[in-house]
Amino acid sequence: MQPVVIPSPDGSVRVDGRRVALGELPSVVASAGAAARWTWDDTNRWYPGLLAAGVRVDRSHDLRLAHRILRGSALAAWPGPADAPPGPWDTLPAASLTSADAPAVLFAAPGPSSGPAEGPDPVAELALQDAVLAGSAAAGRLRLLLAAESAGALAAVEMYHAGLPWLADVHDAVLTETLGPRPRLGERPARLEELAHEIRAALGAPAGLNPDSPRDLLRAIERVGVGARTLRKWELEQLDHPVVEPLLEYKSLYRLLTANGWAWLEAWVRDGRFRSEYVVGGVVTGRWASSGGGALQLPKSVRRAVVADPGWTFVVADAAQLEPRVLAAMAGDEVMAAAGRGPDGRGADMYAGIVASGAVPTRELAKVGMLGAMYGGTTGSSGQVLPRLAKTFPRSLAFVDEAARAGERGEIVTTHLGRSSPLPGATWHEAQSGAYQDDAGDDDVAKARASARSWGRFTRNFVVQGTAAEWALCWIASIRRRLWALGPADLPDGLVPAPFAGRPHLVFFVHDEIVVHTPAGLADAVAAEVQAAAAEAGRLLFGDFPVQFPLSVAVARTYADAK
C-alpha cells in the first residue's frame, strides 16, 4: 500500500483519490496502519504536523530526496538529455521546520490561506521514479538507498519533535565555571578579561590592544617577534613564547562564549530541549547537515548539560572506525576485514588489528595512515606508511586510488548504494584546459594539476564517506523501527511528547553516533537493539561479506559521561 499525499489548491489534500481536509489527515494516516508507505513531496512539510497530532509514520517515500539521488546516480538512467534544465523537483527547497509557517501549526488552524501550496505532481513523479528504478541494473541497491534516505527523513523530523534534553542551569554552570559569571551585554567575562591582560603583558602591548581583533593582535605578535605568521592554534602551539599559553586559552574560551555561550542558550534551548534542524542529504556525500544551533558541532565541554529526564536515561552508541570498515567491505578486502574482526573474531579495534597484521608498528600510525589513505594524504607520517598499508591491504588502497584517479579525470564516482558525486564545475574545467593552451606556462600547468589532484581527493573521500553515510542511514532506520517495537514503559507523564511518551526514542545523531533517550528500565533492551541494528545495517549493505561493525555503547544519564 503506497498512498500518495497530494496537496490541493483549496488547502485540502487528496489521498488515493479521496479528498481529505487537512485536519483529518492525522486520523487518516493513523488508521491506515503500519503497512502503508506514505509518499509525499517532502517529509518536512507533512510529518511535523502528524507528529504534533501524535501520529507516527512507519514508512515513507520522500519524492524530493529520492529525485535528487536518482537524477544524479550513475546507476540510474534518468530519461531525457543529461544537460536538461532543472525541473521543479530539482529546485524544490526543503520545507523548513522553523519558518513562520512551520508545519507544527499546519493542522492546528487549517484554512485556505494556511494550507499547503500546490507543487509539482507527486503521482507523476512517483511513476517516473518507479520506471527509472525498473530500468536500472542496480535497482536493489537504489531501492535500499531511497528507503533508507526516506526513513532518515522521518527520523530527523522525529528528533526535532522530541528535542535533545538540555538543562539550561547546568549549561550556565559550565559557562560560569570556565568564563566567570555572565557579564553585562558588551562586556568581557572575568576570565577572558584576565587573559587579555596577560596577553598584553606578554606582548608589551598597550592596554588598548584588543585580542578579538585578528589584525591588531597579529601586528603586535610580529612586533615582538613571536614567530607566528598566522593566529592558528596549531601554529601557535609550536612556538615557545610567554604569550602562547594565555592566547590559546583565550581563543578556546572566546570560542565557547561566542559559539555556545549564554546567547546560544537563549536562542536554542527552550522548555528543557535543544532543537536543531537536521538537513537530510545536506552534504554532497549524503551525510546530514544541520541548520540552527550547530547541532553537529556540539563541543564536548557543554555535553554535561545534556541530561535525561527523571526516570529516563541515555543509550549512547558510536560505530568504531566506521570508515575503514566500510572501505574494506566496498573493496572486498578480506584481509582488512579480518583486521577489523580481531583475534577472537568478535570485533576488534581495527587500528590495533592493522598493527597486529604487521603493516605498521603503532596504533597511531595505523590511524593516520588509514586517514591519509581515505583523505588523500601524501606527506608526513601518513604518507610514509602508505606504501606499507598498500602492500598489506592492496585491494582497499587500490579502491580509493581508483576513485581518486576518476576524479582527476573529471569523472563521477558512486557510493556502494548508488549516490553519485557531482561533476567538477566550470572553474575546474577552465583550469584543466588552461594547461593545454599554446601559451600555457608552468603556472597554468601547476594550477591544472593542483585542481585535478584536489578533485581527486574529494572523489577519493566521497566513496568512503558516502558509503559510511549509507550504513549510518540503514542503522538509524533499523533503530527507529526496533525502538518503536519495544513499546512504552509504564511511566508517569513527563516531558516526552506523544507519540513517544513513555517510549525510547532517538534524540541525537552525528554521522556515526546516536543517542537514544529511554525509560531507564528499558536501557539494556535498547542497547541490544542498537547492536542488532548495526549488524543489520552491515548485512543490508554488504550481504555475507565478513565485515563487522562493532559499536561502543554506554548507558548514562548525561551525554558527557558516555565517552
Partner DNA sequence: ATTGAGAGCGCG
Partner DNA sequence: AAAGCGCGCTCTCAAT
> What does the binding site for DNA look like in residue numbers (CB under 7 A)?
212-216, 218, 230-234, 237, 251-252, 255, 258-259, 263-264, 267, 276, 279, 282-285, 287, 289-294, 296-301, 318, 368, 371-372, 375-380, 382, 454, 457-458, 461-462, 465, 510-513
Q: Smallest distance from the beta carbon of 256 to DNA, in angstroms?
A: 8
Cis before 387 (ω within 30): no
Q: Which is nearer to DNA, 12 or 467 (CB)?
A: 467
Q: Which is nearer to DNA, 364 or 524 (CB)?
A: 364
Q: Smallest distance from the beta carbon of 317 to DNA, in angstroms?
A: 12
Q: Which is nearer to DNA, 55 or 247 (CB)?
A: 247
Alpha-carbon span 207 to 496, nearest angstrom: 51
Neighbours of 60 (CB within 10 A): 24
Amino acid at 94: A
Q: Distance between terminal CA atoms of the chain?
A: 43
Q: Are the CB atoms for 50 and 40 separated by under 8 Å?
A: no
Assign 444 to helix, strand or coil. helix
Q: Smallest distance from the beta carbon of 449 to DNA, in angstroms?
A: 11
Neighbours of 194 (CB within 10 A): 15
Q: Which is nearer to DNA, 491 or 530 (CB)?
A: 530
Alpha-carbon span 435 to 474, nearest angstrom: 44
Assign 50 to helix, strand or coil. helix
Q: Which residues pair with 13 in a beta bridge?
A: 7, 20
Q: Smallest distance from the beta carbon of 228 to DNA, in angstroms?
A: 9
Q: Which is nearer to DNA, 57 or 469 (CB)?
A: 469
β-pair type (37-40, 59-62): parallel
Q: Which is nearer to DNA, 55 or 515 (CB)?
A: 515
Alpha-carbon span 105 to 182, nearest angstrom: 35
Q: Smallest distance from the beta carbon of 24 to DNA, in angstroms?
A: 35
Which set of grid coordinates corresponds to residue 7?
496537496
340 CB burial (10 A radius; 0-12, 13-18, 19+): buried
Q: Smallest distance from the beta carbon of 90 to DNA, in angstroms?
A: 17
Tell the residue number behind the cell numbers 534516505, with chain if given.
149
Q: Smallest distance from the beta carbon of 232 to DNA, in angstroms?
A: 4
Quickly list H helices, 393-441: 394-408, 426-434
Count the alpha carbons within 13 Å of 182 in the hemisphere toward its beta carbon.
14
Q: Are the CB atoms for 350 and 548 separated by under 8 Å?
A: no
Q: What is the DSSP string of 516-538?
A: EEEEGGGHHHHHHHHHHHHHHHH
Q: Smallest distance from the beta carbon of 448 to DNA, in angstroms?
A: 15
Alpha-carbon span 561 to 68, nearest angstrom: 39
Alpha-carbon span 372 to 449, nearest angstrom: 19
Q: Which is nearer to DNA, 307 or 316 (CB)?
A: 316
Q: Smallest distance from the beta carbon of 91 to DNA, in angstroms?
A: 18
Q: Smallest distance from the beta carbon of 548 to DNA, in angstroms?
A: 18
Q: Which is nearer to DNA, 233 or 270 (CB)?
A: 233
Q: Smallest distance from the beta carbon of 410 to DNA, in angstroms?
A: 15
6 CB burial (10 A radius; 0-12, 13-18, 19+): buried
Tell the residue number behind the cell numbers 559510511, with chain if given.
468
Q: Which is nearer to DNA, 9 or 441 (CB)?
A: 441
Q: Which is nearer to DNA, 76 or 468 (CB)?
A: 468
Q: Smallest distance from the beta carbon of 13 to DNA, in angstroms?
A: 30
Q: Which is nearer to DNA, 272 or 292 (CB)?
A: 292
Q: Which is nearer to DNA, 118 or 237 (CB)?
A: 237
Q: Which is nearer to DNA, 15 or 553 (CB)?
A: 553
Q: Are the CB atoms for 403 and 375 separated by under 8 Å?
A: no
Q: Smallest distance from the beta carbon of 149 to DNA, in angstroms?
A: 17
Q: Torsion angle of alpha carbons 336, 337, 338, 342, nearest 10°?
A: 100
Q: Are the CB atoms for 562 and 355 separated by under 8 Å?
A: no
Alpha-carbon span 346 to 232, nearest angstrom: 42
Alpha-carbon span 49 to 274, nearest angstrom: 19
